[in-house]
Structure 1
């Protein structure tokens, strides 16, 4: 054996042992759960006659439906001419099950996996490089998947998967919502600067005797920070400064942001229980008339509106546009990037046919029907916007996104919006946030980076560390003068490694 094969064999052997250990320590029903039809293909690849298309096998993430008897699967089979047998990973211990299947070289032709799972399998040598296959058979996918996404699916200069980016593209997810009827009652205008925000919060506190700005366990309030020039927020921690990637902890604006938030807290303009509030508490306080403003996502719009109007039928909700900084600039934190990877195991016997099949799903009309069904039956079009026809859209296409194996990055964000239009409140919140963010969105510098092991390794613990420390700074439990101590600890706990890995990728991707 050559050195690479020896290393790969050893890694896979370790995975097998780990998987077996996990199997012995968990509930058998969950650990062995694989949803879908199981045939002889579980132990050997199906045989085909010359000229016939092979039966392909796909492994996919868990969801609460059976893809083998799903209407979208029927459409795909009829349109492409390929029969596909689908299996799902279990709802619990999915990583362990995937590792065991790959270590056993289960004959899947392609697998739809998470970024973390992709990183692990690519680095262990379990996935087939796809550059030549895509060049030869991937005509459609090359046209509809952008360069940034392809770079995100590369390891050591080779493409190891088809990247499936966020269905909505880069979008604004959160905004500050407030009681518009209270502003009107107090004859106040929505704030456009931080100075105006402080004035409004003070007036509301004095006149309404409520919590001016509620929140909790979320110290990264980008909607406020952007008005200080602090361009970070939920999912946005890295940015490029002077042609290098830097992290928010190293940005001098971070101390300015924390100082401002501490000022609000000290003055009683922030929720006194900011350090312990859970998300459900925020909705309860807002809907019961205990708070004036807080930050939430568009996906919660129906819950927020229904809860508030059930208590106050005449209440009105406002969505605050991004505020200006001292130079008149505004910013809106956007998120997106690659959500899934579609890869081919090295031992697949149908690599060429798999790429041919996957590419057929990117054909314009095929992809459109796969994503949002038939016009006049599943959806309608008004002024270039797609609207679902209910209830059949929900009944037949609720899990259509699970059947995707990559997206048309130009068209799908427009198609996908049919899903937010299933509810008028969700539609209003989503469309308002996107309109407010037009031309001023910013996003994380690693949004389209491939999974970076040193980032994945350290990010969870460092995010938790930052959350805990930032909340202490905001609430005064720890003085901001101790920020340097926090920064030294952050670097020592993996921050330096993480930042180096980010810059190594950035340099190589230029």
Structure 2
């Protein structure tokens, strides 16, 4: 936690000086906006600059992917794409900003956006959007804009709202061929069945395989980086870091009545050798490798994960499995029937412009052009990349859709939210592996157990001062503490001390702030 606070201070010093410079130059005249707008509009008609972009981590090179050329041809802008690392992305981002990074545009997570906003590192976008981003303004709903606005009411980020409100975004992949050989013919639906499945596999295979590997930490659409898979946390009624009880009281996950029980369950799995001994140090790549190489029977994953592992496992040069040899475990129910999974209706990524950007007007124009061509850029050409089903839904034509539009999701900054909600499901169907998992866990849950989905109370909460300042570091501290508990270097009795440190490190300030927002937004007294 100290490391992140040091980085925060470094960022604060840098952006404070930038803000001071900006204020001194603007204070000479309060009536220069009209001239500035005219000059900027004229400049946009000239030669287009090459834009420098920073986005979240992906497994492909966005500069050499075919989508880069398609976007350049359609928008007229050449872009140099950079990505954050898969691990320690928050720290890397803060270091980049503190060192005066010259990115024209960055796309970050909501928590990263709120941190940068709280440090004064971002350029306000309201005027720029009015001048050059009318399609962007019209395509995004009011709640989404509020979530990306500052305390001063100005817009500081362009939201990408997740288009599917009830997806089971993270799940577990299971080797059904190995499970059946051990006498297990059905996938577990409850936490008790899951434990019994692991015990049976351990008795049958001993140390031949890793019984259950994870966690799966991937920065992708609607996924959150939890050290205990959400398929397990669902059984204990824990579905977010911040929640609200039946009396309208805001509380943190470590204060949940079942937090200790959940930790004890994971400790039991660890002590009995039912989970990967490398759980605390695994990353997305190692989890994928252990599953696809045939070393693990069950693995935490998501849609992006199976798009990588399934083709390897079913390929001739891989494990040679059949599609039916793989099963998918969704949100598990608890011993008392509890099963809660948070809805995915929320802001997933935020595109923002650093104060140091020299091409802010061009960035907004570039994003606006992309939104004007949303269907073409993300889905393709009718008859070539997709067709329409009789019900009007979009059906991709593979393999050309996957080959030529498969990675377009990474290049998204803004969408016409209403239209994209209709277009998005076709993107899941670009991959048989992704669709198999989506159908097995998300479609199944929506048909059979739709009541498991819980509203995301804070989905459109705007940037709050203390939340932006402390929440990211507190979540990291909670993650570290959780892994220490699972690994046995900390005991559940240490929770009281952790909670005290959490309170003194900004936790109580965040709670008070969020409670006030909740009361006002939902009309509570």
TM-based fold match above 0.5: yes
Matched, 1:190 2:190: no
Shift of 1:500: 3.5
Shift of 1:57: 7.0
Look up the match of 2:334: 325
Shift of 1:175: 0.3
Change in 2 beyond 3 A, CA 1:325/1:220: same
Are 1:167 and 1:412, in contact at CA under 8 Å, matched by a contact in 2? Answer: no
Matched, 1:200 2:192: no
Q: 1:257 aligns with which of 259, 262, 269?
A: 262
Q: Select between 303-312 and 388-397 the one with higher mean Cα deviation.
A: 388-397
Shift of 1:445: 4.1
Q: 2:299 aligns with which of 294, 297, 301?
A: 294
Are 2:129 and 2:364, in contact at CA under 8 Å, matched by a contact in 1? Answer: no
Are 2:77 and 2:366, in contact at CA under 8 Å, matched by a contact in 1? Answer: no
SS in structure 1 at match of 2:251: strand
Q: 1:469 aligns with which of 481, 487, 494?
A: 481
Structure 1 vs Structure 2 CA RMSD: 4.5
Are 2:377 and 2:408, in contact at CA under 8 Å, matched by a contact in 1? Answer: yes
Look up the match of 1:372: 379
Look up the match of 1:165: 160
SS in structure 2 at match of 1:311: coil
CA deviations over 1:359-418 (Å, ceiling 9, x no partner)? 78656xx43234322211232334544344466546765675566552122331442344
5+ long unaligned stretches in structure 2 = 1-12, 22-35, 55-61, 85-91, 217-225
Are 2:331 and 2:339, in contact at CA under 8 Å, matched by a contact in 1? Answer: yes
Q: 1:432 aligns with which of 431, 435, 440?
A: 440
Look up the match of 1:105: none
Look up the match of 2:221: none
Once residues 269 and 391 of structure 1 are traced to their aligned partners in structure 2, the CA distance between those partners, rounded to angstroms, is 39
Are 1:119 and 1:452, in contact at CA under 8 Å, matched by a contact in 2? Answer: no
Structure with bigger gyration radius: 1
SS in structure 2 at match of 1:410: helix
Shift of 1:168: 4.4
SS in structure 2 at match of 1:324: coil
Once residues 497 and 150 of structure 1 are traced to their aligned partners in structure 2, the CA distance between those partners, rounded to angstroms, is 25
Aligned length, in residue pairs: 452
Q: 1:457 aligns with which of 462, 465, 469?
A: 469
Shift of 1:206: 1.3
Q: Select between 476-485 and 283-292 the one with higher mean Cα deviation.
A: 283-292
Change in 2 beyond 3 A, CA 1:17/1:307: farther
5+ long unaligned stretches in structure 1 = 1-9, 19-40, 77-83, 103-107
Shift of 1:424: 1.4
Are 2:234 and 2:340, in contact at CA under 8 Å, matched by a contact in 1? Answer: yes
Change in 2 beyond 3 A, CA 1:61/1:448: farther
Shift of 1:339: 0.9
TM, length-normalised to structure 2: 0.70
Look up the match of 2:219: none
Look up the match of 1:214: 213
Once residues 491 and 457 of structure 1 are traced to their aligned partners in structure 2, the CA distance between those partners, rounded to angstroms, is 14
Look up the match of 2:350: 340
Alignment of 1:66-465 (within 5 A): 70-75=69-74, 85=77, 88=80, 95-96=96-97, 113-114=107-108, 116=112, 120=116, 123=120, 126-130=123-127, 133=130, 138=134, 144-156=139-151, 158-161=153-156, 163-166=158-161, 168-170=163-165, 171-185=167-181, 186-209=183-206, 210-216=209-215, 219-229=227-237, 231-232=238-239, 236-241=240-245, 242-309=247-314, 310-313=318-321, 316-333=325-342, 335=344, 336-341=346-351, 366-382=373-389, 384-389=392-397, 393=401, 397=405, 400-401=408-409, 404-438=412-446, 439=450, 440-442=452-454, 445-465=457-477
Once residues 421 and 194 of structure 1 are traced to their aligned partners in structure 2, the CA distance between those partners, rounded to angstroms, is 30
Look up the match of 2:32: none
CA deviations over 1:144-165 (Å, ceiling 9, x no partner)? 4233312112222624156332
Once residues 302 and 402 of structure 1 are traced to their aligned partners in structure 2, the CA distance between those partners, rounded to angstroms, is 15
Once residues 215 and 312 of structure 1 are traced to their aligned partners in structure 2, the CA distance between those partners, rounded to angstroms, is 23
Look up the match of 2:31: none
Change in 2 beyond 3 A, CA 1:446/1:55: farther
Are 2:129 and 2:137, in contact at CA under 8 Å, matched by a contact in 1? Answer: no
Once residues 122 and 203 of structure 2 are traced to their aligned partners in structure 1, the CA distance between those partners, rounded to angstroms, is 63
